[in-house]
Structure 1
């Protein structure tokens, strides 16, 4: 991690903990710049915290999705950044064109997969994406955490072990709420994950509305420290309170610690 990236990462971490985050508008601009770099005319699916035993299924899901979404880009973030080489090999073996973030050459339009093998900018990449996969949820190990995707306002898909090994009651309740809202859709294999993601990507308004529900739920859980109750769900999905296109385009990290 270079000096500039380290400063950015440390500022972002502090901002995530602060209640007053009005000074973070430059993170929105940074996320917009990343989106432009990845391809503003592409749909972007980010798979974060991916366990190496999930790689094959994620690649199969991506290949199936491209039958419907020819301009789809997969941003692949390994749970262990040292595993990037294995992920790279799997992608190349599947005939995909791969780029690596730490190589510093950016993501060219011909790339199918962009491996995010650093951690300091992951929050910005979530903000720049259209949908997420909750990594470490297809295997009976690891630590699947939907919080970052939810705070970025992304609808998500996961494997069957999304609630595995949770020792934090708030996180467990947040995950259960996101599933009930439909902001997380589960699948057991590549076909089911591809079908769930297709439904989120083909109907952009639905995907963004579900992502906004996820963001509100995550912000409420963080800011108020309350116990999430079942009867609160309806307040998050008021049809008359869906975000406008401009609002959806301005998700920024300064909102992540505020109440919904």
Structure 2
């Protein structure tokens, strides 16, 4: 009886998880192209909405929080401070939301053919990043008008902030994407997290206000939030260079123990990615049946 070498064959329905993205990158490019092409299909304004929607959101927060509630008090160049934080949080919210619904939105492909299911949430993250770029471009232009001077350290801080947001959104996204196929309640939990994320990070206020109201483990937990760390990296990259060093308005520089908070945020992102991948792998066995 002759034996057949099966080493070059894949076991149907199983793969190496996120690592398969490298092998199937041509499919990833197709999914990203599809996501970017269909977002504003049959829209008159098209990609202009990528500028209009964050602009209106910024304007509402700026007027309501900044002037009606005096949220700009004590923060120099409050428009840059506010928009830098909003850009980071908006990227997280869109990436997280898109990744959560990626499997359900592509049910036709999931039920008909096999391909690594992780490609769908990962492509959703990349599509969110593509739509994040116009907001980043606006932030760059406005920062330049306020006297911002780019530096290698500032650009590095920005890239690190983007990496943190993308990693956290991917980890949470694949976790809830797997659960959402069987239990659609997961999408409601995601909406709650997205709603809270804007207020759970120093976007509309300074972190010093949290320090005044909370201390000890509560403050450490708040500052270890990867989104909070990413927001502060964006503030340091774009807002901090526009503020005079001898200005009385606070805050200046990174919060105390920021290196520890950054390390904690990186560890949290790694753990969330691992837990998300394991959960996704467990639920993906029945994706076709549940859909």
What TM-score do the two structures reach when normalised by structure 2? 0.29
What TM-score do the two structures reach when normalised by structure 1? 0.31
* The structure with more radius of gyration: 2
Question: Which has the larger share of helix?
Answer: 2
